[in-house]
Structure 1
Amino acid sequence: MPIKSSLLALLAEQPGSASQLQQRFLALTEEVWPLNIGQVTQTLARLERDELIEAAGQITGPTGRTAETYRLTDAGHAAVEDWWADPVLRPKSERDELVIKVSLAAARHDVDLIALLDRQRRATLRELRGLHRASRDLGATRTAERLQLERRIFDLEAEARWLDRVEALAHPTTDQEA
């Protein structure tokens, strides 16, 4: 969904070919997230099938090759407006490997849950320290790199708090295990 919506948002600014859209995406996101041309062309094909974009003519690139350009349809414009207006929420069904691992470990007697939590906490804090060091080299501006780094820092801080909370929770009783 984010690539589909991102391409629609780029096309809302101006029509473009797959290569132009890829280059604009990478430039605007400072190449924080890779985007290969195959992913762009497949997404454009789906957007065209779904009548969110349409062909806008061909251009000839610097190598002499022609490429199709695309523009938004009315439905595409509406989809972009909806994307800007709708908040982004993480799916409730997202499988979180750490939650699964801790849940399974908590139910086993042969796994030292506290040691597992301590190892995870150390790894989380080590990554946090590295990100804080990296953040000192970035300006306090809303660049894609800074936004991604800040998001990761806040996620890791929340993870560390969650690990503390899990450790503080009571062990399941025999009645709960039955």
Structure 2
Amino acid sequence: MSIKHALLALLSDQPRTANGLKQEFHKTTGDTQPLNMGQVSQTLSRLERDGLITQVGVVTGPSGHQACSYQITDSGRSAVQAWFSSPVEKALSDRDELVTKIAFAVHNPQLDVIEILDTQRNAILSQLRVLNKQAREVAQSRNPQRLVIERRIFDLEAEARWLDRVESLKGAH
């Protein structure tokens, strides 16, 4: 996930402190995406270094703690607009543990590949039952919880179809 672009998107609304960005990130994502203060601070440093944001002052909180406030620059606005208008692509080279496991199992005559596929299929069905139950309990809107649950359901359904395809293929070589 692009923390850089998420923070820029939040800063495009109004200037914020690091803590304010972290809180608004969690609010916007419905606490479905982890983000720690270290990630926020490192990302803000890089964004400032790259001229995508600038410090606009110091804010004093209720406890007397002072924090820098940041705002997006024109270059930052262009970068976040480019992010919104570009598709998200997964690289074919992304490592996939399941593909690796099956590839190694195919080359080991002591292993039953069909049993491995069935074990994975059963795990998928179990996860789908849980997610479908959760989906029935979440509002039918584009809220963060609904988006995460449905994305995972569709990913698992695709994985199950892929397992069926793997099973239909001939053995190695």
TM-score between both structures, scaled by the size of structure 1: 0.95
For residue 31 of structure 2, what is the aligned residue in structure 1?
A: 31
Question: What pairs with 1:43-122 in structure 2 (closer than 5 Å)?
Answer: 43-122=43-122
- Secondary structure of the residue that 2:42 maps to in structure 1? helix
Question: What pairs with 1:142-157 in structure 2 (closer than 5 Å)?
Answer: 142-157=142-157
Structure 1 stretches (4+) deviating beyond 2 angstroms?
A: none
- Between the aligned partners of 2:100 and 2:36, the Cα distance in structure 1 is 32
- Between the aligned partners of 1:166 and 1:12, the Cα distance in structure 2 is 46
- Residues 93-152 of structure 1: CA distance to partner in whole angstroms, max 9, x if unpaired? 110000011111111101110100010000011101110011110111100010000000
Give the total of aligned pairs: 173
**How far did 1:28 drift?**
0.8
For residue 2 of structure 2, what is the aligned residue in structure 1?
A: 2
- Between the aligned partners of 1:146 and 1:62, the Cα distance in structure 2 is 35
- Between the aligned partners of 2:24 and 2:134, the Cα distance in structure 1 is 25
- Residues 156-178 of structure 1: CA distance to partner in whole angstroms, max 9, x if unpaired? 00000001110011112xxx3xx
- Between the aligned partners of 1:151 and 1:67, the Cα distance in structure 2 is 36
User: Which structure 1 segments of 5+ residues have no match?
Assistant: none
For residue 138 of structure 1, what is the aligned residue in structure 2?
A: 138
- Secondary structure of the residue that 1:171 maps to in structure 2? coil
- Between the aligned partners of 2:110 and 2:56, the Cα distance in structure 1 is 63
Counting aligned pairs with the same residue, the percent is 51
Q: CA RMSD in A?
A: 0.9
For residue 123 of structure 2, what is the aligned residue in structure 1?
A: 123
TM-score between both structures, scaled by the size of structure 2: 0.97
- Between the aligned partners of 1:39 and 1:96, the Cα distance in structure 2 is 25
- Between the aligned partners of 2:46 and 2:114, the Cα distance in structure 1 is 48
For residue 19 of structure 1, what is the aligned residue in structure 2?
A: 19
